[in-house]
Chain A
């Protein structure tokens, strides 16, 4: 399957899950996964899902503007760069966000 299509599909699934069932993000991370968010490091699916579930908003909607991917390393991994808008309930203006993901094969 075309890597760009894989990346796009993964990103859409990730942010749909983020927006509708944030606890479900635990299925997208493993024990060896890492998140660095606003300077803080987190490791492991539980800790990462806990951090994301604890962000100071109940409802949010991500709109993806760009998805770029490149192969990474000798084991078929992929580097994905996403940018877009994040609309929080009750806020007049959307926030801008960007995220870098490294995915194992």
Chain B
């Protein structure tokens, strides 16, 4: 399957899960997964999901603007760079965000 299509599908799934069932993100991380968010490092599926579900908003909607991917490393991994808007309930203006994922 075309890597760009795989990356796009993964990203759509990731943010749909984030927006509708944040705890479901646990299925997208493993024990060795790492998240660095606003300077803080978190490792392991449980800790990462705990961090993401503890963010100070209940509802959010991500709108993806760009998805770029490249192969990464010798073992068939992929690096994905995402940018877009994040609309929080009750806020007049959307936030901008970007995220780097390694699959």
Q: Do A and B come from one complex?
A: yes
- Which one, B23-31, B51-59, B94-102, is touching chain A? B94-102
| Chain A residue with the shortest CB-CB distance to B41 | A70
The winner among B66, B71, B98 for most chain A CB atoms within 10 A is B98
Given contacts A68-B39, A70-B34, contact A36 B100 (CB under 8 A): no
- Over the window 93-105 of chain A, the binary record of Cβ atoms lying under 8 Å from chain B Cβ atoms (1 yes, 0 no) is 0001010101000
Which residues of B line the A interface, CB within 8 A? 34, 36, 39, 41, 66, 68-75, 77, 79, 81, 83, 96, 98, 100, 102
| A-B residue pair count with CB separations less than 8 angstroms | 49
- The answer on a CB contact under 8 Å between A36 and B69 is yes
Interface pair B83/A98, CB less than 8 Å apart: yes
Q: Which residues of chain A are near B79, meaning CB under 8 Å? A: 79, 100, 102
> In A55-98, which residues have CB < 8 Å from any B CB?
66, 68-75, 77, 79, 81, 83, 96, 98
